[in-house]
């Protein structure tokens, strides 16, 4: 028997610090994408972005990336 990696899922971190993504969005990985870098590249093709929020990187789906930024 041979085991194969199922890859990685990248989920949306939501429009702000306290809210979850209303769509529970996740990047739809392509057939050959097995690493987080490859899946994030697939997401960029679909309009996802990666931003810095409170000194960490977050992944945002197309709907959440256009949500208003939280005020500090």
pLDDT digits over 8-64, tens only?
Answer: 889 999 999 899 999 999 998 888 888 889 999 999 999 999 999 988 999 999 999
Question: pTM for this structure?
Answer: 0.77
Q: Give the pLDDT confidence score for residue 67 in this predicted structure.
A: 67
Phi, psi of 17 (to 5 degrees): -65, -35
CA-CA distance, 34 to 53, in Å (whole number)?
26
């Amino acid at each position: 028997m041979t085991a194969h990696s199922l890859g990685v899922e990248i989920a949306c971190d939501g429009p702000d610090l306290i809210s979850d993504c209303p769509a529970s969005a996740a990047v739809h990985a392509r057939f050959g994408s097995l690493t987080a870098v490859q899946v994030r590249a697939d997401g960029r093709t679909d309009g996802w972005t990666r931003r810095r929020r409170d000194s960490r990187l977050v992944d945002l789906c197309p709907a959440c990336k256009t949500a208003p930024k939280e005020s500090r």
